[in-house]
Amino acid sequence: MNAIYPGVSQDEATDDMDAVIARHAASRLRWNTAVPRDAVRVSVTGGVATLEGVVERAYQKDAAALTLRGLKGLVRVDNRLEVRPG
């Protein structure tokens, strides 16, 4: 077992870090008024945040990704948001 801490495997540590990043990302998205509340779902695997959902404007899609910039532990953002004008 490759342990970072005694009894904690690398995979467990990565899963825990992904969960922390996802919580912080979701919090940032909630605070950004340019991103419609409840329109964006975020998941994190291996430090990569995936954004999914539907927004009405391209600037909202861009704002969602930019909101996560600089988030500690984040490797990159996979922005899969769809833009569907309402």
Please, what is the angle between helix 10-31 and helix 58-67, to 10°?
130
Query: What is the per-residue pLDDT for 3?
Result: 40
Task: Report which of 60, 81, 72 is spatially closest to residue 23, judged by C-alpha positions.
Answer: 72
pLDDT of residue 15: 73
Match 């419609």 to its residue by tokens: 36
The pLDDT score that the predictor gives to residue 9 is 56
Averaged over successive runs of 10 residues, the pLDDT of the chain (86 residues) comes to 45 78 96 95 96 98 97 96 94
Amino acid at 4: I
- Predicted confidence at residue 13, as pLDDT, reads 58
Q: Return the domain boundaries, the chain.
A: 3-83
Taking the domain 3-83, which CATH number applies? Answer: 3.30.1340.30
Alpha-helical segments (H) within the chain: 10-31, 58-67
pLDDT at 12: 55
- Per-residue pLDDT, 4: 43
